[in-house]
């Protein structure tokens, strides 16, 4: 029952008209491992994330999905004693090259988090403008333009255009999350990472964000972690299934491929067990 | 079956009795703890209220034996001393607090935190001696600056620890949101984390000011006291607690009255500061939420 439903939806995604308005960048991950101190949380991931596509990361809690995507924009290393091994390329740039500035990496690979986290002391407008301002953009006209554009892209403009000076925290949870998306795309990243962006939201807000993702991939590459299999099937073009290693606990990439293939014809029995809700 | 589900052992009347006795004991302890505070306030109020007048706040002390006059110079002096102490102490304390919250796990940070805690417990007279050695001896003069330095040393640990606490309470999600936008670490600190923790930092500063505004011992041989309007920061300066101390020891009734009145005003100022802290923190928390 479930399977046929998700299958149809996966097919629907693939048959949707694919228009690309800006060619974005892809990521190539090689032998990536992530440590917290001596604890290996993610081991040996090889993966090619395609430009202008939505790639979903699925897998049970604690298998290292968050850790993995935080390695993609070098946010993992801000955790104390955390460390990354292996390689991540954004097109032909090596993100972990010693000469690479992690700040520059995070500017071109943005992130949306599980809980909406607008800056509490700032207005709606200032939240969206914050990335530009803190990166040294002074031109007010340019900022205003970019704020409006980003809010429109995040499908939030109509709801907030009359209260841009209001505190961001006055918005609902779903609106706050779209605000965070607007804030992220305002600095023109090539890739946006989303870590369970809907798990704190109601179903209506979730649908809005899913529609938004479909729009955004015309310009951006998107990697989304989700707990929700239907969501993965609805929004993604490719799906990666992660699972914690039984012995050492480290998260491993079990299977990766087009979403339709993963959901209809998984190669690994563990993938099948997971997406059909049968574990282990 | 049903009765066993509610049976928690012991008889109900017995437990209710114990409950009441313990409640009464707690009430009594709270009352005993509060008594000294109420006594102090009541005493100062009773003795001080009659001596309050505008002259006290605006006039200079009269020569010994002449009635009237006030200690306007002392109130001004305390204001100057607090301003100086804040000028020296707040930036150092806030920066140290930022350091502890950001690099709190390094060995140096642990030593710093330990020393800060030790400094909080050092008797203030000793801090006076330190400021005397640091400022008065080299400059050959008691001065407002020396008093300010002494008070700043008392302020620093309070401001440091409250700043650290306030910044640690700022959710990590905000830091990561900012870092994720490609904002540098120091800008994230300055423009995202610091504003989010500002309520707590202001609280710390106000508490520190409340603490130093009543300090007497460290001023004895730094600020020294004066019976005139302040003349530059390099000269001895009057302060309310010093003046109260001197007047209280003197054998003149009108000086005693002035000391009570000044003590009352000082106490009210400290009380207002503390209440202010409550108001600030309450609105601060609402902002975060
Ligand atoms: N800050 C951290 N310090 C130490 N271990 C962590 C930290 N964050 C996550 N982990 C561990 O890393 C593993 C993967 O966690 P995470 O990436 O959050 O999984 P997921 O997002 O798939 O639920 C878990 O075992 C978790 O306990
Ligand atoms: Mg996670």
* ipTM, two decimals: 0.87
- Domain ranges within chain A, ordered by starting residue: 5-275
Q: Please write the tens of the pLDDT for every residue from B145-195.
A: 999 999 999 999 999 999 999 999 999 999 999 999 999 999 999 999 999
More confident residue, B72 or B2: B72
Tell me the mean pLDDT in the region A160-169: 94
The alpha-helical segments, DSSP class H, found in chain A are 2-15, 65-72, 102-108, 124-134, 140-153, 157-160, 173-185, 203-216, 229-235, 259-264, 269-275
Return the pLDDT at B64. Answer: 82
Return the pLDDT at A279. Answer: 61
User: In degrees rounded to 5, what are phi and psi of residue B37?
Assistant: -60, -50
Tell me the mean pLDDT in the region B205-229: 92
Count of alpha carbons within 13 Å of B283, Cβ hemisphere only? Answer: 10
Residue A211 has pLDDT above 90, yes or no: yes
Return the pLDDT at B8. Answer: 66
Residue B4's pLDDT band (cuts 50, 70, 90)? low
The percentage of residues in chain A with a pLDDT greater than 90, rounded to a whole number, is 84
Q: Ligand 1 in contact with A244 (CB < 6 A)?
A: no
Q: Please give the Cα distance from B65 to B51 (Å, whole number).
A: 17
Tell me the mean pLDDT in the region A199-212: 92
Set of chain B residues whose Cβ sits within 8 Å of the Cβ of A131? 181-183
Q: Across-strand partners of A36?
A: A39, A82
CB A13 within 8 A of CB A237: yes
Residue A268's pLDDT band (cuts 50, 70, 90)? very high
B25 dihedral zone (left: phi>0; alpha: psi -120 to 50; beta): alpha
Nearest to A183 among B176, B181, B287 (CB): B181
Class of domain A5-275 (CATH, top level): alpha beta
For the four alpha carbons of B129, B132, B134 and B138, in that order, the dihedral sign comes to negative
CB pairs under 8 A between A and B: 75
Q: Ligand 1 in contact with A83 (CB < 6 A)?
A: no
DSSP three-state, residue B152: helix
Q: How far is CA A36 from the centre of its chain?
A: 21
Return the pLDDT at B179. Answer: 95
Residue A263's pLDDT band (cuts 50, 70, 90)? very high
Q: Please write the tens of the pLDDT for every residue from A218-248.
A: 999 999 999 889 999 999 999 999 999 888 7
Residue A3's pLDDT band (cuts 50, 70, 90)? very low
Return the pLDDT at B278. Answer: 81
Tell me the mean pLDDT in the region A4-17: 50
CB A72 within 8 A of CB A84: no
Q: What is the DSSP letter of A47?
A: E
Residue B279 has pLDDT above 90, yes or no: no
Residue A15 has pLDDT above 80, yes or no: no
Residue nearest to atom 6 of ligand 1 (CA): A36
Return the pLDDT at B1. Answer: 46
Which domains are delineated in chain B?
72-238+279-288 (1.10.3720.10)
Q: Please give the Cα distance from A55 to A49 (Å, whole number).
A: 7
* Residue reference for tokens 């239907």: A230
Return the pLDDT at B286. Answer: 44
Return the pLDDT at A9. Answer: 53
Q: Are strands A39-49 and A93-94 parallel, antiparallel or unpaired?
A: unpaired
Return the pLDDT at B5. Answer: 61
Q: Please write the tens of the pLDDT for every residue from B249-276.
A: 999 998 999 999 999 999 999 999 888 8
Return the pLDDT at A147. Answer: 97
Return the pLDDT at B159. Answer: 96
Mean pLDDT of chain A: 90
Residue B135's pLDDT band (cuts 50, 70, 90)? very high
Return the pLDDT at B164. Answer: 95
Nearest to B179 among A75, A115, A180 (CB): A75
Mean pLDDT of chain B: 90
Give the position, in ligand 1's atom list, of the atom nearest the Cα of A42.
14
Residue B6 has pLDDT above 90, yes or no: no
Would you call B234 an interface residue with chain A, using a CB distance cutoff of 8 Å? no
Q: Do A106 and B192 touch (CB under 8 A)?
A: no
For residue B205, CA distances in Å to A118, B152, B183, B198, B280 come to: 27, 11, 28, 10, 12
Residue A17's pLDDT band (cuts 50, 70, 90)? low
CB A13 within 8 A of CB A236: yes
Residue B222 has pLDDT above 70, yes or no: yes
The percentage of residues in chain B with a pLDDT greater than 70, rounded to a whole number, is 94
Residue B196 has pLDDT above 50, yes or no: yes
Which residue does chain A place closest to B199, by CA atoms?
Answer: A121
Residue A70 has pLDDT above 50, yes or no: yes
Q: How far is A152 from chain B (nearest CA, A)?
A: 19
Residue B15's pLDDT band (cuts 50, 70, 90)? confident
Q: Please give the Cα distance from B242 to B151 (Å, whole number).
A: 13
């Amino acid at each position: 029952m479930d399977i046929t439903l998700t299958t149809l939806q996966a097919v629907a995604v693939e048959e949707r008209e694919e228009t690309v308005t800006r060619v974005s960048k892809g990521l190539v991950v090689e032998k990536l491992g992530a440590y917290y101190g001596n604890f290996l949380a993610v081991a040996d991931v090889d993966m090619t994330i395609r430009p202008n596509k939505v790639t979903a990361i699925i897998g049970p809690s604690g298998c290292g999905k968050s850790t993995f995507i935080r390695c993609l924009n070098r946010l993992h290393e801000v955790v104390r004693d955390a460390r990354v091994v292996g390689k991540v390329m954004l097109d032909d740039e090596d993100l972990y090259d010693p000469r690479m500035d992690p700040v520059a990496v995070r500017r071109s690979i943005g992130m949306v988090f599980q809980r909406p986290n607008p800056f509490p002391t700032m207005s709606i407008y200032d939240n969206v403008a914050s990335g530009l301002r803190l990166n040294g953009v002074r031109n007010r006209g340019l900022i205003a333009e970019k704020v409006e554009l980003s809010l429109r892209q995040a499908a939030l403009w109509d709801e907030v255009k009359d209260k841009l000076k209001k505190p961001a925290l006055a918005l609902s949870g779903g609106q706050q999350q779209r605000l965070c998306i607007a804030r992220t795309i305002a600095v023109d990243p090539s890739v946006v990472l989303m870590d369970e962006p809907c798990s704190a939201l109601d179903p209506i807000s979730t649908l809005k964000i899913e529609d938004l993702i479909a729009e955004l991939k015309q310009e951006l590459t998107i990697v989304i972690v989700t707990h929700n299999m239907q969501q993965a099937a609805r929004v993604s073009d490719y799906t990666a299934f992660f699972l914690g290693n039984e012995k050492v606990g480290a998260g491993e990439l079990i299977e990766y491929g087009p979403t339709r293939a993963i959901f209809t014809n998984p190669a690994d029995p563990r993938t099948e067990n997971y997406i059909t809700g049968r574990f282990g | 079956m049903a009765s066993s589900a509610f049976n928690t052992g012991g008889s109900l009347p017995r437990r209710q009795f114990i409950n009441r006795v313990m409640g009464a004991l707690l009430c009594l302890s709270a009352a005993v703890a509060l008594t000294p505070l109420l006594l102090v306030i009541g005493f100062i109020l009773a003795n001080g209220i009659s001596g309050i007048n505008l002259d006290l706040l605006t006039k200079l002390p009269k020569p010994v034996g002449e009635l009237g006059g006030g200690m306007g110079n002392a109130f001004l002096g305390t204001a100057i001393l607090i301003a100086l102490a804040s000028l020296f102490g707040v930036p150092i304390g806030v920066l140290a607090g930022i350091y502890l919250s950001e690099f709190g796990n390094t060995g140096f940070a642990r030593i710093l935190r330990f020393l800060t805690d030790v400094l909080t417990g050092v008797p203030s007279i000793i801090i006076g001696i330190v400021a005397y050695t640091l400022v008065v001896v080299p400059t050959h003069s008691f001065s407002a600056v020396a008093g300010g330095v002494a008070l700043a040393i008392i302020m620093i640990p309070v401001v440091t620890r409250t700043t650290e606490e306030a910044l640690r309470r700022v959710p990590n999600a905000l830091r990561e949101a900012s870092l994720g936008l490609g904002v540098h670490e120091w800008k994230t600190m300055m423009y995202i984390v610091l504003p989010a923790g500002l309520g707590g930092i202001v609280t710390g500063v106000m508490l520190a000011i409340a603490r130093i505004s009543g300090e007497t011992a460290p001023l004895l041989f730094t600020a020294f006291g004066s019976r005139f309007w302040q003349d530059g920061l390099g000269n001895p300066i009057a302060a309310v607690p010093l003046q109260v101390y001197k007047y209280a020891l003197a054998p003149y009734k009108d000086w005693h009255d002035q000391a009570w009145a000044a003590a009352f005003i000082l106490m009210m100022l400290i009380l207002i500061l503390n209440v202010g802290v409550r108001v600030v923190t309450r609105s601060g928390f609402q902002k975060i939420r």
